[in-house]
Structure 1
């Protein structure tokens, strides 16, 4: 079973997300959206007709979204078959932070890695 298929996003805390977004837009040319994030499109190597995306997103320094981790970042991994993966992770004793959430662009769940870093798993609806 294929598990992680790519990086779905990179999220980090900062003192001023709007200022950070503008800096990256002005200095590195990120094409940001109204929420301050940027979407990078790419095509899968195994199927060059299948497009994927990776998100880049600054968060407010005081965000609680990364909790219970105390780190200033969170990585989002694209996965296949999230339900099956979650069952396997539970059998492996992995800490599952919440339940699977389904939104317009896919399914999400959060887990903790071996050092307590919060990890977001995303099964995209491409």
Structure 2
């Protein structure tokens, strides 16, 4: 039987896509190739989560229809660097058995979640 084999991507609307690509390149070190950011699957550190939230759920702004969750290898390092670059970073950081979380807001007002998965030593 044919089946889903994995997560294919994230698609967001933007007022100025090219400017937003440049911002993500500058502040997150992502590299645009052939019209998008691509991540090689073998570098994935943990499972990918696909979840639904109620319209009124406050986990991310209700007016925002989707939220990006990016995996990082050093949450504090990335967030501290973003603060130094004058990016709007939520001061709240959370830790759970499955990893650490933090958030920032991009120039178009999108709340983005960063996740440092727990190590599996």
Aligned pair count reads 83
State the distance in 2 between where 1:101 and 1:117 align.
19
The answer on 1:79 being equivalent to 2:69 is: no
TM-score normalised to structure 1 length: 0.57
The answer on 1:45 being equivalent to 2:42 is: yes
CA distance 1:45–1:65, change in 2 (3 Å): same
Determine helix, strand or coil for the equivalent of 1:120: strand
Structure 1 match to 2:38: none
State the distance in 2 between where 1:65 and 1:95 align.
17
Higher RCO (Cα < 8 Å, 6 or more apart): 1
Determine helix, strand or coil for the equivalent of 1:73: coil
Structure 2 match to 1:56: 50
CA distance 1:45–1:73, change in 2 (3 Å): same
C-alpha offsets along residues 72-112 of structure 1, whole Å, 9 cap, x if unaligned? 11110000111111110001111112321111100001110
Structure 2 match to 1:122: 115
Unaligned runs of 5+ in 1: 1-6, 11-43
Unaligned runs of 5+ in 2: 1-6, 11-40
- TM-superposed deviation, 1:70: 2.5
**Backbone CA RMSD of aligned residues:** 2.6
State the distance in 2 between where 1:121 and 1:72 align.
18
- Do the aligned residues in 2 keep the contact of 1:70 with 1:117 (CA within 8 Å)? no
Determine which of 92, 98, 113 is the counterpart of 1:99. Answer: 92
- TM-superposed deviation, 1:51: 5.6
